[in-house]
Amino acid sequence: MLKFTVDVLVIGWGKAGKTIAGRLAGEGRNVALVERSPQMYGGTCINIACVPTKDLIDSASKRDGRDPVPYFSSAVADRDTLIAKLNHANHAMLEGKALLFDGVASFTGPHTVTVSGGDDEIAVHAETIIINTGAHPATLSIPGADGPRVYDSTTIQHINPLPSRLVIVGGGFIGLEFAQMFARFGSQVTLLEAGETFAPALDADIAERVRNMLEGEGVTVVTGARATSFHDTGNQVDVVTSERTFTADAVLVAAGRLPATEDLHLEIAGVATDERDYITVDDQLRTNVDGVYAVGDVNGGPQFTYVSLDDNRVLWDTLHDGPRRRNDRVAVPTTTFLDPPLSQVGMTMRQARQSGLNVLVATKDVASIAAMPRPKIVGQTEGLIRVLANADDHTILGATLWCIDSQELVNLVSLAMRLGARYETLRDGIWTHPSSTEAFNEVLGTLTPLA
């Protein structure tokens, strides 16, 4: 067994891990990074999640009636070409700067890890260990869940051929994105939501409109449909619920994500986890074991690559006696990449009513916003914009932006919220034309008390 002693060991090549590894190596520390699979250089986002799925979503929106099966195969090939370039580039970022090991890392003590890969085994000791193993799709504990026609959000990206009929189990943001995407690729899609309410995180009126949009594109949405088993018949799969059975060529299980900790042997190191098996950390990303930290999805925080990037900033300050903490985060935005994208930050209208604050609200259909010509120019006028403000101090409380470019607009609203800016700052801003940002000039001029 080869043995190495380094200053810092990073387990997992995700956004936080690769960034902090490069920064620490750049200041002269001896850094090692372990990744279990060469296909994951760079982490989840660029290899199997954010980037490849958005590439497929873009391809689906451009099919324009072309034959679904060959078009889907071509789109997957284009996806793979892009991801291979990004994977290679991410490896090159750290090559020569840190010791890079391929293999599965397992703790053998609080500061010692064994890396197993093939016939080789390596022992690495480090006083500083950063766990960055991320999360993976959750499975369902029901009969047939391991069947050959049951996929998760990773494996379905390479399904072959394109399924004529696809059942998606789970109505969260992953389920919604894949539902619209596969419908546009040409699949007949059925989306099953176990709860009685579709998209419960949204205000009810917005959820209804999103549902209508999906159904208008051919997606069948069924609420109150909890899958109880999958039965493979040899050439198709039956999805059994308490009410009825749905027959499909493939099933996508979009039932959330779980921490990737199963091979780490955290109990040997004494690292504590919570009831969901996420690694427990404080606001400085410290575990209960001195010198061991956890960053990214594995620590149970919001599972977004930009939050993982911020974990890198927090940990940098932790290691350098800086001020940044996890609890500094406010107004963290999110986007569900439907077409048009659906972005949120801060309160919904339902939450605002429950807050006890004096609230102003403005809601406008995108199609009716005269000051926002960009959606009409590109031919995508679906959606609405809703902004909530505090009537007493005029600060912004939240926004739901369902419109073209919302993934950019929400960042501007988020920044205004973090700075404590008054809503007039956005309302009276001087924005380029024609742009989506101009919507704020008009929408925020219609704020009225929330009923």
**Binding site listing for FAD:** 54, 297
Binding positions are 54, 170-177, 193, 256, 297
Catalytic annotation, pick one of 88, 158, 320, 433: 433
DSSP secondary structure string for all residues of 64-99: TT--HHHHHHHHHHHHHHHHHHHHHHHHHHHBTTBE
DSSP string, 267-301: HHHT--B-TTSPBP--TT-B-SSTTEEE-GGGGTS
Distance from C-alpha of 382 to C-alpha of 403, rounded to nearest angstrom: 7
Alpha carbons 75 and 51: distance in angstroms, whole number = 13
**Residue 379 CB: number of other CB atoms within 10 A?**
7
Determine phi and psi for 242, rounding to 5 degrees.
Answer: -65, -25
Distance, in Å, from the CA atom of 188 to the CA atom of 184, rounded to the nearest integer, reads 9
How buried is residue 223: exposed, middle or buried, by Cβ count under 10 Å (0-12/13-18/19+)? Answer: middle
Three-state DSSP state, 341: coil
Active site residue 394: no
Q: Which residue ranges are tagged as binding site for NAD(+)?
A: 170-177, 193, 256
Region for 214 from its dihedrals, namely left if φ exceeds 0, alpha if ψ lies in -120 to 50, beta otherwise: alpha
Catalytically annotated residues: 433
